[in-house]
Amino acid sequence: MEIDLRNIMKFVNLTSEEFEQFTSENFSHYTQSSIHYNNRSKTKGDVHLVGVKDDQEDVIAACLLTEARSLKFFKYFYTHRGPVMNFNNLVLVRFFFKSLTAYLKKHNCLYVLVDPYVLENLRQPNGEIIESFDNRALIKTMEELGYKHQGYTVGYDTMSQIRWLSVLNLKDKSEDQLLKEMDYQTRRNIKKTYEMGVKVKTLPIEKTDTFFELFKMAEEKHGFKFREEPYFVEMQKTYEDHAMLKLAYIDLQDYLDTLQTKHQNLNQQLKDVEKTLEENPNSKKNKTKHTQVKQQFDSNARKIRQTKEKIAEEGQVLHLAAALYIYNDHEVYYLSSGSNPKYNAYMGAYRLQWDMIQFAKEHNIDRYNFYGVTGDFRENAEDAGVQKFKEGFNAKIYEYIGDFIKPIKPLFYKVKQELESRR
């Protein structure tokens, strides 16, 4: 049953503090944050904080809106993953969006794009639906108010936020449990990074170029062009200590020392088992043991030789993989990353993810968001490899409701569309 709040609600501009309090107490995306607002307001002055208060002066809806120039004379407004509110309360939804339209008319707005953080389906990594959320009443309400749903898109789009996210739920799970629920190969790869001595460190903003070098390699590998280096500097400035560039690296000299210590131990084991074999040459058990130790010894010798060659060719410290992370009270977001394909054997990307999953657990954050996938679940999908990697960690697919667009000046909006169709 809906409570009629129409007589006791008011649409207001919110302070940064009010917005901060509401978004930290209610599940929200990192783009809907006061840290984002404060920095954007300071540097560009193109952001608005609006919301709804009840008769107790409590905030019950909040939204960060950004404006941009459109058709020279007008403004285009958008909200990424906003507003933050209870979308099941359709009276509130109606009041907010009706009031938003009136607010935008006063601000010379041509049209507005809204992208609510509302879940449509929870799916298995193969696309199979685990749970469906019935948003038909919400979509109907939005459309009655002139906010037209843009459909259930698949793939990446430069104009809007990705509709499909790969998310690992961490709530009430220990690190051991999270590891157990991962794919065997993923778990093994994480374990191997520890054996090899792969480490993770935070890069200062001055070292963004280190990250960007690895990011460019990912662009080349996947054949896309996403962003230039200044964008990543800007992101770190915008989200301050809630943005981090992480680097997975290996010191090959340390790894070599570990291998050589292991080699001494294996050499001793080999001598011991050979001695035992001399005493009892027909023992099947000793023969098997000898074969096993000899294989380990040869494999370790090969790793020593390869590591020495690698040091001679590439130097002592190798940069394996790097990623940009942003976090809030609700989620850690793995946004952009890159790795050096020459060093895939050291599995830096696995160590990076595990390190940040641990970070989320330490900070009592319940979701680890691997971010976008296309929503194309065919074996030959353009991101099939990426999906497979994320699936290995036991991430599920969260499909969101998608975009709504409302022309505030319908006539001029038509002109805009016609101009775009001619390009």
Name the domain count of the chain: 3
* CA-based nearest residue to 16, from 46, 41, 52: 41
Type of residue at 339? S
Q: Please report the pLDDT score of residue 220 as a whole number.
A: 74
44-87 pLDDT, tens digit per residue, is 999 999 999 999 999 999 999 999 998 888 999 999 999 999 99
Looking at the fold, whether 196 and 267 belong to one and the same domain comes out as no
pLDDT digits over 211-260, tens only? 999 999 887 776 666 789 999 999 999 999 999 999 999 999 999 999 99
237 and 336 together in one domain:
yes
Highest mean pLDDT (candidates 146-160, 273-287, 310-324, 368-382): 310-324
Both 197 and 346 in a single domain?
Answer: yes
Mean pLDDT of the chain: 92
Spell out the alpha helix ranges (H) of 315-409: 348-362, 384-391
pLDDT of residue 285: 85
User: What pLDDT is stored for residue 40 in this prediction?
Assistant: 92
Residue 128 lies in a domain: no
344 in the same domain as 302: no
pLDDT of residue 177: 97
Structure tokens at 128: 């199979």
User: Between β-strands 148-149 and 84-85, what pairing exists: parallel, antiparallel or unpaired?
Assistant: unpaired
- The range of the structural domain enclosing residue 353 comes to 167-252+316-400
> Are 267 and 364 in the same domain?
no
CATH of the domain at 239: 3.40.630.30
> 173 and 144 in one domain?
no
Strands (E), 377-418: 396-400, 404-407
**Cα–Cα distance for residue pair 310/384, rounded to 1 Å:** 31
How confident is the model over 340-353, as pLDDT tens digits?
Answer: 999 999 999 999 99
Q: Indicate if 328 and 264 belong to the same structural domain.
A: no
Distances (CA, A) of 69 to 45, 73, 123, 220, 298: 13, 7, 38, 32, 65
Statement to judge: residues 24 and 86 lie in one domain: yes
Helix (H) or strand (E) holding 319: strand 317-327
* 110, 258: one domain: no
What pLDDT score was predicted for residue 223? 63
109 and 247, same structural domain?
no
What pTM value is reported for the model?
0.91
Examine the domain organization and report whether 189 and 303 are in the same domain. no
Residue 89 lies in a domain: yes
Residue type, 315: G
Q: Choose among 83, 87, 119: nearest CA to 396.
A: 119
**Is 387 or 53 the better-scoring residue by pLDDT?**
53
In a domain, 414, yes or no: yes
SS3 297: helix
Q: Is residue 155 in some structural domain? A: no
